Chains A and B, each alone.
Chain A
Amino acid sequence: MSKKLPVIAVTLAAAFGVAACGSSSGGGSTSSGSTSAGASTTSGGAQSDPQKIAYSSPVAAQPGQRDIAFGFQAAAKGLGWSSSILDANLSADKQVSDIATMVTQKVNGIASWTLDPGAAAGAYGQAQSANIPVIGVNSVGTGVTATVWWELNRCTPDGPVARTAQYIARARAGARVIVIAGPPVPSIQAYVTCFRAAARTAGLNVIAETANTRDSSAAAQPIASDLLTKHPDVDAFWNYNDASALGVSAAIAAANKKVYTDATRSGIIDTGQNGDSDAIAAVRAGRMTGTWDSDPVATGWAMTRLLSDYIGAKRMSSPPRELVVRSEFWTSSNIARYVAPHARPYTLENLPLVGAAG
Chain B
Amino acid sequence: MSYVTTPDGVRLRYRDVGSGAEPVLLVHGWKGSHRLWDKTTLALRERGRRVVAFDLRGMGESDKPGSGYDFERMAADVGCVIEQLELRDATLVGWSMGVTVALSYLHGGGAGVARLVLLNGPLRLTQAPDFPHAMPAAQFDGYIADLVARWPESEYEFQQATLVEQSRPLVDLLYGIALQTPLDVAVEIVRAQARLDLRGVVEQLRVPVLAAYADLDPYYPTSLADWIAAHAPDGQRAELHASAHATPLEEPGNLADAIERFIASRPLQRRP
Q: Taking beta carbons and an 8 Å cutoff, which residues of A are in contact with B? A: 1-8, 10, 12, 14, 16, 18-23, 25-32, 34, 36, 38-41, 43, 66, 70, 73-75, 77-78, 277-278, 281, 284-285, 335-336, 338-340, 342-347
Chain A CB within 8 A of B172 CB: no
- Of B9, B84, B138, B146, the residue contacting A28 (CB under 8 A) is B9
Whether the Cβ atoms of A30 and B68 lie closer than 8 Å is yes
Complex Cα distance, B136 from A2, in Å, reads 30
- Find chain A residues with CB under 8 A from B2 CB: none
- Find chain A residues with CB under 8 A from B195 CB: 7-8, 10, 12, 34, 36, 38-39
- Of B76, B138, B139, B197, the residue contacting A6 (CB under 8 A) is B197
Query: What string of 1s and 0s marks CB contacts (under 8 Å) between B139-153 and chain A?
Result: 101110110001000
Q: Taking beta carbons and an 8 Å cutoff, which residues of B are in contact with A? A: 4, 6-10, 65-73, 75-77, 79-81, 83-84, 104-105, 107-109, 124, 126-128, 132, 134-139, 141-143, 145-146, 150, 157, 160-161, 163-166, 188, 191-192, 194-198, 200-201, 215-216, 218-219, 221, 244
- 6 cross-chain pairs, A with B, having the tightest CB-CB distances, nearest first: A21-B80, A74-B142, A78-B138, A340-B218, A1-B108, A39-B191
Taking the closest CB of chain A, its distance from the CB of B90, in whole angstroms, is: 15
Whether the Cβ atoms of A8 and B197 lie closer than 8 Å is yes
- Find chain A residues with CB under 8 A from B146 CB: 70, 342
Whether the Cβ atoms of B215 and A343 lie closer than 8 Å is no
- Find chain B residues with CB under 8 A from A32 CB: 67-70, 73, 192
Complex Cα distance, B162 from A342, in Å, reads 13
Taking the closest CB of chain A, its distance from the CB of B170, in whole angstroms, is: 11
Taking the closest CB of chain B, its distance from the CB of A330, in whole angstroms, is: 12
Complex Cα distance, B230 from A81, in Å, reads 40
Whether the Cβ atoms of A22 and B84 lie closer than 8 Å is yes
Taking the closest CB of chain B, its distance from the CB of A72, in whole angstroms, is: 10
Whether the Cβ atoms of A347 and B143 lie closer than 8 Å is no
- Find chain B residues with CB under 8 A from A6 CB: 107, 196-198, 200-201
- Of B7, B191, B215, the residue contacting A22 (CB under 8 A) is B7
Whether the Cβ atoms of A20 and B165 lie closer than 8 Å is no
Taking the closest CB of chain A, its distance from the CB of B140, in whole angstroms, is: 8
- Find chain B residues with CB under 8 A from A77 CB: 138, 141-142
Whether the Cβ atoms of A277 and B161 lie closer than 8 Å is yes
Complex Cα distance, B71 from A75, in Å, reads 30
Whether the Cβ atoms of B6 and A21 lie closer than 8 Å is yes
Complex Cα distance, B132 from A344, in Å, reads 11
Q: A1-B72, A38-B194, A338-B216 are in contact. List 5 more A-B contacts (CB 8 A).
A: A5-B104, A16-B70, A25-B8, A26-B7, A70-B146
Whether the Cβ atoms of B138 and A74 lie closer than 8 Å is yes
Complex Cα distance, B43 from A179, in Å, reads 46
Whether the Cβ atoms of A8 and B196 lie closer than 8 Å is yes
Complex Cα distance, B164 from A74, in Å, reads 27
Whether the Cβ atoms of A335 and B70 lie closer than 8 Å is no
- Find chain A residues with CB under 8 A from B75 CB: 1, 5
Complex Cα distance, B68 from A16, in Å, reads 10
- Find chain A residues with CB under 8 A from B191 CB: 34, 39
Interface of A is mostly: loop
Count of A-B contacts judged by CB separation below 8 Å: 173
Which residue on chain B has the smallest CB distance to residue A26? Answer: B7
**A31-B67 contact, Cβ under 8 Å, with A7-B195, A8-B197, A12-B195:** yes
Complex Cα distance, B136 from A43, in Å, reads 11
Complex Cα distance, B160 from A21, in Å, reads 37
Which residue on chain B has the smallest CB distance to residue A23? Answer: B7
- Find chain B residues with CB under 8 A from A19 CB: 7
Whether the Cβ atoms of B9 and A347 lie closer than 8 Å is no
- Find chain A residues with CB under 8 A from B132 CB: 345
Complex Cα distance, B145 from A285, in Å, reads 31
- Find chain B residues with CB under 8 A from A285 CB: 164-165
- Of A18, A28, A70, A335, the residue contacting B73 (CB under 8 A) is A18
Whether the Cβ atoms of B67 and A345 lie closer than 8 Å is no
- Find chain A residues with CB under 8 A from B143 CB: 70, 74, 342-343
Which residue on chain A has the smallest CB distance to residue B10? Answer: A29
Taking the closest CB of chain B, its distance from the CB of A44, in whole angstroms, is: 12
**A-B contact list, 22 entries, CB within 8 Å:** A1-B75, A6-B197, A18-B8, A21-B4, A21-B77, A29-B8, A29-B9, A29-B66, A30-B68, A31-B67, A34-B191, A34-B195, A38-B194, A74-B139, A277-B161, A277-B166, A285-B164, A336-B215, A339-B218, A343-B135, A343-B143, A346-B136
Which residue on chain A has the smallest CB distance to residue B110? Answer: A1
Whether the Cβ atoms of B142 and A345 lie closer than 8 Å is no
Whether the Cβ atoms of B141 and A20 lie closer than 8 Å is no
- Find chain B residues with CB under 8 A from A78 CB: 136, 138-139
**A1-B109 contact, Cβ under 8 Å, with A21-B6, A32-B73, A34-B70:** yes
Which residue on chain A has the smallest CB distance to residue B69? Answer: A32
- Find chain A residues with CB under 8 A from B160 CB: 277
- Find chain A residues with CB under 8 A from B77 CB: 21
Complex Cα distance, B80 from A277, in Å, reads 40
Whether the Cβ atoms of A73 and B142 lie closer than 8 Å is yes
- Of A16, A43, A278, the residue contacting B138 (CB under 8 A) is A43
Taking the closest CB of chain B, its distance from the CB of A276, in whole angstroms, is: 11
- Find chain B residues with CB under 8 A from A26 CB: 7-9
Which residue on chain B has the smallest CB distance to residue A30? Answer: B68
Whether the Cβ atoms of A21 and B216 lie closer than 8 Å is no
- Find chain A residues with CB under 8 A from B134 CB: 345
